[in-house]
Every structure is written in C-alpha cells, then in structure tokens.
C-alpha cells in the first residue's frame, strides 16, 4: 500500500535565505496517527503548511492521496484538513456560518447533520449562533478544529492544537482524534508534550533545525524512554569490574569510583536486587546510589548533539 502522504527531498528556503527544511523525506500511512515533536523554530509549521499547499517548497515534491500538492493543488487540498497554530477567524462571523462556509469552499454540498455532529463533538453546539468574538480562546480553537473537519478530510493536520489550552479541551481533542481514527482519518499533529504523543500517536517523529532526526514506532520509543540508569558510587575505586558481575554490563567511570547500570523499568525483573547482592559478594562497598530516567528530552538532546557533529 502506498503512503497517503509522500514527501520527497523537500527543501524550503524562505525569502531572506533562511533554510527552514533540509531535504525532508517522509511517508505517512493511511489511518496512522503521527506526532511530530520538536522545539520552536524546528520547521514543524513549515513542513505542515507545505504539505497542505499553503507554503511553496523550494525544491522536492509532495503528494497527498496520489495528487501532487502543486500540480494538482485542488484535489490534494480537498483531502486535507488543517488546524493552524495561530487563530485566524473572522471575529464578527457566527460559529455555524463559519464552519458551513468553510465546507462550501471545498465544493462540498451542504450537510448540516454532519456539521451538527462535529459541533456537538467539540462542545460547540450551544454556541453555534454566537459570534466568534464572543468566544474564549479555547472555544475559538474548537472552531478551528470544526472548520478543518467541515469538508470531511481524509488527512487532518493539527499544528500544536493543545499548546496553552485547558485540560478539558485537551481531553476532548484526544477523544475526537480517537473517533476520527476509527473512521480511518490519518492524523498528523505537532506537539511539545510527550504525554500527548504517548496518549494518541502510533508513530513519533523528532524534528530539529529542518531535519527529521528520528521517526519511530511509539512503542519502541517508549521502551527506550523506560530505560533507567543506576549510578553506584563506590567506597574505593576499582581497576576492573569483577568477572562475577560480567552479566550486568556495568560501565566503570575513568577514575574507577562509579559504576553505571542501565535497566528497563518496564521489565518485570530489573536485576537491581541481585546486582546489589552480587556487589556485596564481590566485596565492593557502596557509598551512594542514585537513579535517573532517560526521557524524550534526553533522547532528543542526544539526537540534537549527534546531528550537530
């Protein structure tokens, strides 16, 4: 099966010479939920808006549902819904009209029953007759989502949908994403929150300085994140790790005063108890023990370091 979104050697240099994307390649499978994580300025919005045909690539190609986003813009665009990072709504327009108008722009026939369902899912139904200007920030964000869904897109892009929104909206959005997934909608979201990626994504991509540094199955990434390290400070330095401790893959510090042991918090046996026993049996005294968990942050920092080399 070919990917619903195909990005090939995409490069984007803005007027003024800033290279926001460097040869990005990406395949997004139909029905998957992909979370793109990356710091401010990484190129997330640029990537999304080029896929949606709003920003023009400098070179490379993109297709959605087999349609080139430039040569066949209208067909590609019709398959795509975009919830932008910035709120861009007409303040004096009414909620229902805004959403209905948006559907019309894509050449879709009127279907108020479908729009009613969307507004209800987003807890906007009571506000349908109200003006945009009267809504809170969170409600406006819900309207953006309703607009993006108005023409029944097969691929939905959510650009930092939950940055600075209340917990309630975040939960509602996650539920909505789950429902859309059941309908087979492909979803790409950008986020800062690892919990968000953890809650809803099938795959996680990390992007920095215009490059995708990693793209991995969530489960695999989470198991890497479940890795913890135990730092064991010894009462006396040792020259080598005794053979009896060979199975633990301990890392000895240069001065021989610290041993580091890596283990999985997700496994039923961490090996800590037996390690401590075996250290004692080997006559090694402990001064202190500390543990630390590797987080996406660590993985990310390491990746960024690697990519800077």
Which residues of the chain form contacts with ligand ADP (CB under 6 A)? 14, 16, 18, 20, 38, 40-46
Distance separating alpha carbons of residues 234 and 281, to the nearest angstrom = 14
Closer CB to Mg ion, 39 or 66, in the complex? 39
Closer CB to ligand ADP, 50 or 186, in the complex? 50
Closer CB to Mg ion, 99 or 206, in the complex? 206
Q: Which does 169 bind (CB under 5 to 8 A by kind): ligand ADP, Mg ion, none?
A: none
Q: Which does 43 bind (CB under 5 to 8 A by kind): Mg ion, ligand ADP, none?
A: ligand ADP
Q: Which does 18 bind (CB under 5 to 8 A by kind): ligand ADP, Mg ion, none?
A: ligand ADP
For residue 138, give the nearest of 118, 102, 180, 167 by alpha carbon.
Answer: 167
Q: State the residue number with the nearest CB to Mg ion.
A: 45
Distance separating alpha carbons of residues 152 and 184, to the nearest angstrom = 11
The nearest distance, CB 14 to Mg ion, in angstroms, is 14
Closer CB to ligand ADP, 65 or 205, in the complex? 205
Q: Applying CB under 5 A, which residues contact Mg ion?
A: 44-45, 85
H or E, element range at 199: helix 194-200
Q: Which does 191 bind (CB under 5 to 8 A by kind): Mg ion, ligand ADP, none?
A: none
For residue 142, give the nearest of 161, 116, 163 by alpha carbon.
Answer: 161
- Residues with Cβ within 8 Å of 102's Cβ and at least 6 positions away in sequence, in order, are 147, 150, 151
The nearest distance, CB 52 to ligand ADP, in angstroms, is 13
Q: Give the single-character DSSP code of 301.
A: H
Strand 33-37 with 80-83, pairing: unpaired
The nearest distance, CB 251 to ligand ADP, in angstroms, is 35
Contact criterion met (CB below 8 Å) for 150 and 100: yes
Distance separating alpha carbons of residues 62 and 7, to the nearest angstrom = 5
Closer CB to Mg ion, 58 or 85, in the complex? 85
The nearest distance, CB 41 to ligand ADP, in angstroms, is 4
Q: Which does 129 bind (CB under 5 to 8 A by kind): Mg ion, ligand ADP, none?
A: none
Distance separating alpha carbons of residues 94 and 197, to the nearest angstrom = 33
Closer CB to Mg ion, 41 or 66, in the complex? 41
**Which phi and psi angles does 122 have, rounded to 5°?**
-100, 15
């Amino acid at each position: 099966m070919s990917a619903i979104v195909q990005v090939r050697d995409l490069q984007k240099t803005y007027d003024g010479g800033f290279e926001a994307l460097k040869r990005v390649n990406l395949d997004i499978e139909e029905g998957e939920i992909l979370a793109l994580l990356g710091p401010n300025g990484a190129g997330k919005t640029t990537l999304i808006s080029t896929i949606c045909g709003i920003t023009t690539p400098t070179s490379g190609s993109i297709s959605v549902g087999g349609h080139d986003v430039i040569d066949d813009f209208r067909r590609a665009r019709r398959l795509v819904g975009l919830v932008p990072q910035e709120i861009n709504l007409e303040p004096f327009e009414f909620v229902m009209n805004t959403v209905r108008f948006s559907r019309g722009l894509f050449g879709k026939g009127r279907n108020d029953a479908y729009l009613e369902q969307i507004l209800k899912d987003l807890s906007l139904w009571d506000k349908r007759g109200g003006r945009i200007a009267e809504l809170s920030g969170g409600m406006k964000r819900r309207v953006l989502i309703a607009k993006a869904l108005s023409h029944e897109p097969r691929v939905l892009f959510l650009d930092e949908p939950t940055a600075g929104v209340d917990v309630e909206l975040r939960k509602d959005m996650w539920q909505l994403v789950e429902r859309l997934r059941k309908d087979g909608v492909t979803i790409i979201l950008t986020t800062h929150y690892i919990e968000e990626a953890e809650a809803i994504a099938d795959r996680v991509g990390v992007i920095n300085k215009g490059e995708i540094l990693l793209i991995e199955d969530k489960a695999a990434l989470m198991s890497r994140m479940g890795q913890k390290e135990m730092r064991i400070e010894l009462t006396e330095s040792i020259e080598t790790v005794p053979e009896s401790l060979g199975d633990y893959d301990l890392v000895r510090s240069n001065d021989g005063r610290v041993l580091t042991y890596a283990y999985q918090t997700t496994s039923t046996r961490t090996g800590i108890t037996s390690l401590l026993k075996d250290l004692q049996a080997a006559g090694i005294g402990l001064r202190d023990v500390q543990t630390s968990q590797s987080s996406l942050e660590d993985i990310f920092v390491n990746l960024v370091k690697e990519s800077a080399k």
